[in-house]
Structure 1
Amino acid sequence: MDAIDRKILRALARDGRLTNAELAEQVGLSPSPCWTRVRRLEAAGIIKGYAALLDQAALGLPDTVFIEVMMERHDEDSLRRFEATVLAIPEVLECHLVTGEYDYVIKAAVGGTAGYERLLRDRLYRLPGVRHTRTSFALRCLKRELSPVPE
């Protein structure tokens, strides 16, 4: 990957709807070599896909919470069941298996404290093997990058 590939990745990370002509102009290439590079980056799995960024507030889920989850057991079956269940919860934006005191960190979109309580009581506390949770509400998002592009 060279400097032009990184320019392409940065431009697409900012706006995945750029036309090939617009992208080529931004990175200083003609359209044909730009198209070839984008296809190569896709084929290599560096570009995994394209998605629309949705406005959580407009969808009635204006608040972001970070929920740390401690499991009762750490056997493969318990973790697999927990993970499969979390994948099916629509409010969950991300879920990471982490090191430290807690086992998972979940990022979720909720509709205020009432929406958070519903998520906690109706979904998370019913998950298999959950021992304890700890939650923080995000006050403001200072930076949001979907994927960093190294220099």
Structure 2
Amino acid sequence: MKSKSDPVRLDAWDVRILSEIQSDGRISKSELAKRVHLSASACSERLRILQAAGIIEGFYARLSPALVGGIICIMVEVILDRHRLEDQRNFETAIQEIPEILDCWAIGGRIDYLMRVSSPSMAAYQDFMERLLQAGLGIDQYYSLIVTKPVKSNSPIPLSAVRRR
């Protein structure tokens, strides 16, 4: 049985659909069908299958941090004080409920986790980190990297090299 993390083999139709919706998540199903040269019903069915398989994780609006209210972005490297599976699970479960943490990745190497955090100000970020450290999540060390400007973000996944069936 395939696990959820096993890559799915995609055919050329799937790749075309995924390429289009990565560029424009608000595209109508009829327009999508036209662009990929499928009937509307065949395109809708493939889209449903791609969603059910978890390949399409969702549709989102990308907001402008500057226009939403001057939100700053901080990348935070986290090192846990212990590295038992229980400690990792505790940390990973706890951060799911913290809205300021936009993304978090487990990392192999000198740090344990890399988080992308949003904050309205540096003072608010410092308060946030103090609360996080007091929350008993097992954080031993953290390093803050302040994003000064986005250079490239939210790029589509290059589908030219995906496994095809």
Q: Shorter-chain TM-score: which interval?
A: 0.7 to 0.9
Secondary structure of the corresponding residue to residue 106 of structure 1: strand
- Following TM superposition, by how much is the alpha carbon of 1:125 offset from its aligned partner in structure 2, in angstroms? 5.0
Alpha carbons 1:56, 1:109 under 8 Å: kept? no
Q: What are structure 2's unaligned runs of at least 5 residues? A: 1-9, 161-165
Structure 1, residues 24-76: CA drift from partner, whole Å, max 9, x if none?
12222231221122122223222222233333334435211110011111112
Q: 1:131 aligns with which of 134, 140, 147?
A: 140
Deviates further, 15-24 or 117-126? 117-126
Match of 1:38 in 2: 47
Alpha carbons 1:9, 1:149 under 8 Å: kept? no
Task: Percent identity, please.
Answer: 32
Partner amino acid, structure 1, of 2:90 = R
1:67-146 aligned within 5 A? 67-145=76-154
Secondary structure of the corresponding residue to residue 66 of structure 1: strand
Find runs of 4+ consecutive structure 1 residues off by over 4 angstroms.
none
If the length of structure 2 is used for normalisation, what is the TM-score? 0.80
Alignment pair present for 1:22 and 2:22: no
If the length of structure 1 is used for normalisation, what is the TM-score? 0.87
Q: What are structure 1's unaligned runs of at least 5 residues? A: none
- Following TM superposition, by how much is the alpha carbon of 1:147 offset from its aligned partner in structure 2, in angstroms? 5.4
Q: Distance in 2 between matches of 1:34 and 1:107?
A: 35
Q: 1:51 aligns with which of 48, 60, 65?
A: 60
Alignment length (residue pairs):
151
Alpha carbons 2:23, 2:156 under 8 Å: kept? no
Deviates further, 50-59 or 23-32? 50-59
Deviates further, 105-114 or 121-130? 121-130
- Following TM superposition, by how much is the alpha carbon of 1:124 offset from its aligned partner in structure 2, in angstroms? 4.0
Q: 2:16 aligns with which of 7, 31, 44?
A: 7
Secondary structure of the corresponding residue to residue 69 of structure 2: coil
